[in-house]
Amino acid sequence: MPTRTGRPPRISRAEIVAAANKVIEEDGVAGLTMRRLAREVGSTAMALYHHVRDKEELLLLLLDDYAAGLARPELPSEPYERMVAAALAMREAVAGCPWAVDVLRADDLLSVGALWYPEQIVDAAIRAGLGEEDAVDAYRIIWHYTAGEIAARAAARGRRAEGGPTYRDRVFPELDAAEFPRLSGVGPRWEELTARDTYAKGVRALVRGLLPPESPPNKP
């Protein structure tokens, strides 16, 4: 065991992560800058670079930290319901950290700690009778849907927080009824209809469409 030498550290990765979470809670992810974080930690921006390689590593660290605290609820064993429940749990997990969707790249879901969700979804798909390939497809399709829904919700929330009229508000009233009969028909109800949470409905449709037609609500 080599003797550690030199100055003892004044800040730790754990402290940095905790401070970063505080900043995000207060000002959102956009408010998380190295300088702001340093202020929170009581240090300088440059000191942070001694503990994390760059900002991207910091964000991955935050994701790991978040993923470690995720719930792993008991899932029903019936494949259809199992898949729906796993998707709902995944959505809830990601919704608790919506900026993750922007940071995440490719088909990745958070960090190792969060792989529990794809594992359960693929598992449910295989139990339902899908081959490995179809099961992975099913997971990815559900993930894309989930990511899209969360991004849209986060954006809608941001828009509302900013106040001001929606793009839609400006556009819908002057819709040409001849060109867009259906949308004009919906008209002012659009706002109300699009405010509803349709995630579960979509997941059920997806699962119904992806799994073989045996299992749905009625048990085999």
9 lies in the binding site for DNA (CB under 7 A): yes
CA gap 205, 199 in Å, rounded: 10
Query: Which candidate, 127, 121, 161, 112, places its Cα nearest to that of 145?
Result: 121
Q: Does 4 bind a second copy (CB under 8 A)?
A: no
Q: Which of 76, 131, 148, 212 binds a second copy (CB under 8 A)?
A: 148
- Roughly how many angstroms between the first and final C-alpha of the chain, as a whole number? 61
Widest distance between CA atoms in the chain: 80
Which residues 29-58 are close enough to bind DNA by CB under 7 A?
32-36, 43-47, 49-51, 54-56
Per-residue burial over 168-206, b if 16 or more Cβ lie within 10 Å, else e, is eeeebeebeeeeeeeeeeeeeebeeeeeeeebeebbbeb
CA distances from 105 to 2, 116, 121 (A): 39, 18, 20
Q: Write the binding mask 52 to 91 for DNA: x where contact by CB under 7 A, - elsewhere.
A: --xxx-----------------------------------
The answer to whether 89 touches 121, Cβ cutoff 8 Å, is no
Taking CB under 8 A as the rule, which mask of x and - marks residues 150-189 in contact with a second copy?
Answer: -xx--xx-xx------xxx--x---x---xxxxx-xx--x
Interacting residues of 66 by C-beta distance below 8 A, sequence separation 6+: 96, 97, 100, 110
Distances in whole angstroms, Cα of residue 166 to Cα of each of 12, 83, 187, 191, 199: 43, 35, 14, 9, 22
| Choices 13-21, 24-32, 36-44, 206-214 (CB under 8 A): range interacting with a second copy | 206-214
Q: Does 105 bind DNA (CB under 7 A)?
A: no
The partner in contact with residue 5, picked from DNA, a second copy, none with C-beta cut-offs of 5 to 8 angstroms by kind, is DNA
Nearest CB to a second copy, comparing residues 42 and 169 = 169
34 belongs to the binding site for a second copy (CB under 8 A): no
Residues of this chain that bind a second copy (CB under 8 A): 60, 101-102, 104-108, 111-112, 115-116, 118-119, 122-123, 126, 132-133, 135-137, 140-141, 143-149, 151-152, 155-156, 158-159, 166-168, 171, 175, 179-183, 185-186, 189-190, 193-194, 196, 198, 201-202, 204-210
